[in-house]
Amino acid sequence: MRSGLWSAGVGANFIRSMAGCYVAFYKQLGDLILLEPALSRLLAHHGRPVRLMTRNGHADLVSLMPGVKFVKGLALAPAHSLYCFDPLNKSAFRSLIAPVFKRHHVRPAKIELHWYHPLVFSRPLNPELGDSYVAEFFWANTPVPADGPFRPPVLSKPPDDWAPEGWKAGEFILVNPTSGWKKKMWTVEGWTEVIRSLGSRYRYVITSAQAEWQVTHCQRISAATGAVIQPTTLRQFLWLCANAKAVLSVDGAASHLAAAFGVKCFTVFGPTILVHWHRPAPGHIAYQAPLNEDGVRSLRKLAPGPVIEALAALGL
């Protein structure tokens, strides 16, 4: 009898240890922000913090996602399920060696299927992105019951000690004019006219990645407008996005962050597909370059006038 009770207790402890889930996602910062609604859906279903395997540099962002725990290194503790939302080799490998009962895979296109995916994942899903907003696509295809309708990404406010020296909440406009892709960048002349149109009643801070061509682009805007270039850590960048009067940006992480923090945001889009990366909302406005004579949406030829007119709706 005692042996039976002991065995039952061990079994119960093992089952409890298998509760909860892992998520594997090693894409870029902006993509991770858009995964937040899906993580929230998993949190509600499993009833325990979601253990997220992602890039080490994203840990500070993960700390602002309620109910999500950053996993440093390999997944060692057992869990019931794992959900992978990207097609990357690293994600598949981390998923394979994680001690879980079930492995699910959600990808935005069948073309991203690799030969080894069926060997790793027991329940692969291959929906097409179509015209979906990426955050809603991830959420809609998360294979657990929903506890309510879709809502856009939400992040907690960063602590005040993440602020770079010299900046106070609500007293500046953040301008993020660069992207990892040159084709997403608008001209120096365009940004200069936009900043001048808003006048001197605001302070302006420019943030950017650190490639030489990105820094040069920001330096030219700064020289023309007097806006301050602020080198940042990720923590400082998160704080600036969360505490700006408004964020003006090209398509990228700054835009997604501002929306998730509830900060006014205006995003300039070039050739990327607007419906995938922008969800219209009060205080969250986008303007996309029109098609030129070659059938391309080029930001190099985008005049500032229509952009300034669209920006007026932000109420700055």
Residue with tokens 């952009």: 307
Say how many domains are in the chain: 2
Q: Is 120 domain-assigned?
A: yes
CATH of the domain at 191: 3.40.50.2000
**Cβ-contact 194, 308 below 8 angstroms:** yes
pLDDT(239) > 90? yes
Burial label, 23 (beta-carbon count in 10 A; 0-12, 13-18, 19+)? buried
- pLDDT per position as a tens digit, 91-149: 999 999 999 999 999 875 777 778 788 889 986 666 788 899 999 999 999 999 999 99
**Structure confidence at residue 254 as a pLDDT band (50, 70, 90):** very high
Burial state string for 144-177 with b = 16 or more CB within 10 A and e = fewer than 16 = eeeeeebebbebeebeeebbbeebeeeebbbbbb
Q: Is 107 domain-assigned?
A: yes
Q: Is 57 domain-assigned?
A: yes
Residue with tokens 């009833």: 47
Same domain? For 180 and 239 the reply is yes
pLDDT(198) > 50? yes
Same domain? For 278 and 186 the reply is yes
Looking at residue 3, what is its pLDDT? 47
Looking at residue 125, what is its pLDDT? 66
- Residue 304 CB neighbours (<10 A): 18
Same domain? For 128 and 178 the reply is no
Phi, psi of 23 (to 5 degrees): -130, 135
pLDDT(157) > 90? yes
Same domain? For 97 and 228 the reply is no
Looking at residue 11, what is its pLDDT? 40
Q: Is 4 domain-assigned?
A: no
- pLDDT per position as a tens digit, 3-59: 444 444 434 444 445 689 999 999 999 999 999 999 999 999 999 999 999 999 999
**Cβ-contact 120, 105 below 8 angstroms:** yes
User: Considering only CA atoms, which of 86, 74, 133 is closest in space to residue 112?
Assistant: 86
Average pLDDT over residues 294-310: 91
Q: Is 158 domain-assigned?
A: no
- Domain span including residue 269: 167-314
Same domain? For 175 and 89 the reply is no
Average pLDDT over residues 217-221: 96
CA distance 243 to 45: 32
